[in-house]
Amino acid sequence: MIQAVDRAVRILMVLQGARRMSLGEIAAELELAPSTVHGIIRTLLGHGMVAQERDSGRYRLGPATLRLGNVYLHTLELRSRVVGWAEDLAKRTGCAVRAGVLLQGDVVVVHHEPRPDGGRQMPEVGIVIPAHACALGKVLLAGGSDELGSRPLRSMTGDTVTDPAKLRAELEVIRRTGIATEVEEAVIGECGIAAPLVDASGEVPGALGLVVPASRWPLDAAATEAVRTAARSISQELGAPSWPPAVREWPAASA
Amino acid sequence: MIQAVDRAVRILMVLQGARRMSLGEIAAELELAPSTVHGIIRTLLGHGMVAQERDSGRYRLGPATLRLGNVYLHTLELRSRVVGWAEDLAKRTGCAVRAGVLLQGDVVVVHHEPRPDGGRQMPEVGIVIPAHACALGKVLLAGGSDELGSRPLRSMTGDTVTDPAKLRAELEVIRRTGIATEVEEAVIGECGIAAPLVDASGEVPGALGLVVPASRWPLDAAATEAVRTAARSISQELGAPSWPPAVREWPAASA
DNA sequence: AAGAGCATTCGATGATGTCGAATGACACTC
DNA sequence: GAGTGTCATTCGACATCATCGAATGCTCTT
């Protein structure tokens, strides 16, 4: 892993946590000399990846990041395949629809279809949710080969599953049923249900699901079936050999 | 400028131009040894800034870019100030509203309010337009201290202004009037009008404007005035000392 | 079955990023 | 209005670290 590049990305990640930071704050956060950070930041500055406030001298993320993210979205085959089905799902169920991918233990929302009846809703594309706390995330963890990232399971609400053993058991069930649920584990008053999207290689690169108000939980069978149907259809379009995805072979526990 | 970091960002930029690339293609594009690119890419891969297709081995942008871009949007004070006024402007004029910032000779759209009557419209947040070919861009070039980036003015349509001298003259007019227009210079059938957003330091960090169908051009005075009013109001909220922005002092041409 | 193209690994080289200290600018205080 | 703190920034020497070319193993093609 190349040191300078790694540090550059770390700077972006730190900047993404706090809106605006002084050079010293960034250096302290990363335990680096300020001049080291300065050199890297100047390079990022030249490409618009970070911006500097003219008056205070502080640093923020730059517009080039927005451009990158936008291109990522438009080159994501998964997303383009999801859009049509998501619209249909939203109409059919009356719920908001989300699709997401895994990013190091978190789910990044790559598509969001607002509730049909709802008025102005925040566009949620790009937001990040801890994987263990949402239905989309559980599906992705269940389908991913990367044994859940061994980092502590942060509690979001009182109902968040924080026990790795309990989560592992839940993932096992999801692998069999092909459906994950979540009841107020990420946000109070919000539940979720999700199903895996499978690609040609049998991997699970994404998940599709509904955001359900707690007042409408549990969800009726028709809506659940609609999610399953949509996920299966999208997976077929992606060339999936089977759905739900074949259960991944575990290296024998005795190893 | 730090070499390794610069190369890393360049890789991202190249990846943003072509959807999927092999390692060799990237190396050739940047005139680097494949193994050099490989080291950098592995680092970016570890942070999710790029992703590798499991089967073909090719590289694409990764989900971390989406997260970065999303955070950028939400930390942009300019944008949060624009949202309310944009909605109002769209209702009042019946046109789509855009706000943008400058990124190295291009405009990046940071907010997009769809036409009120329109049906499904592509969300345009994050798209990039050559600055010299759109109203937003002309405003930003007129207000920016960075003398237009000396790179060739690419022609988008037959009406795109490609002569630097002509563009410079146009910018001079914009500096006086505080309003820029564009008639089918970026997209056939589409015109635009825009006004500068001024911040507390008197700089022009962004621009606000309308997207007008060619059939509705020229725009009536009421709509033009509405744009001017919105831009002035937003600028005041940002603490602007004056609007339109004070004309930047040119170093005497004799120097 | 042989070949080509690809990503990937490895090790030696010296170019290059890193750090600490010094500078200059700014703002706030006494 | 002088003083003092913090801040971004610059500079130069050192040693680390990124770079490159060649070699490997792989998959797909001929």
In angstroms, the CA B198 to CA A176 distance is: 57
Footprint of strand D on the protein (CB under 7 A): A 2-6, 22-25, 34-35, 38-39, 41-42, 52, 57-58; B 3-4, 7, 32-36, 39-40, 55
Give the amino acid at A188: I
Closest-CA residue to A196 (of A232, A221, A168, A242): A232
* Spacing of B53 CA from D25 C1' in Å: 19
A238's tokens: 């992606």
Instruction: Give the predicted TM-score (pTM) of the model.
Output: 0.94
The reported pLDDT for the residue numbered A146 is 60
CA distance, residue A226 to nearest chain B CA (Å): 23
Strand order in the sheet with A128-130: A128-130, A106-113, A96-103, A206-213, A190-197, A180-183
Tens digits of per-residue pLDDT, A196-231?
999 988 889 999 999 999 999 999 999 999 999 999
B7's tokens: 């190369």
Q: Which nucleotides on strand D sit less than 7 A from a protein beta carbon?
A: 6-12, 17-22, 28
Low-confidence ranges of chain B (pLDDT < 70): 118-120, 145-150, 248-255
B67 touches chain A (CB under 8 A): yes
| Angle (nearest 5°) at CA A196 between A249 and A220 | 125
Give the amino acid at A100: G
B139 touches chain A (CB under 8 A): no
The reported pLDDT for the residue numbered A144 is 80
Closest-CA residue to B126 (of A12, A19, A208, A125): A125
The reported pLDDT for the residue numbered B255 is 29
Q: Tell which of A72, A73, A146 to mutate to test the B interface (max B CBs under 10 Å).
A: A72
Q: What sign for the dihedral angle of Cα A78, A80, A81, A87?
A: positive
CB–CB of B104 and A48 under 8 A?
yes
% helix / strand / coil in chain B, to the nearest 5?
45, 20, 40
Closest-CA residue to B63 (of A244, A101, A234, A164): A101
Beta bridge partners of B100: B109, B207
One pLDDT digit (tens) per residue for chain A, 255 residues: 899 999 999 999 999 998 899 999 999 999 999 999 999 999 999 999 999 998 888 999 999 999 999 999 999 999 999 999 999 999 999 999 999 999 999 999 999 999 998 666 778 999 999 999 999 999 999 988 666 666 789 999 999 999 999 999 999 999 999 999 999 999 999 999 999 999 988 889 999 999 999 999 999 999 999 999 999 999 999 999 888 887 754 443 333
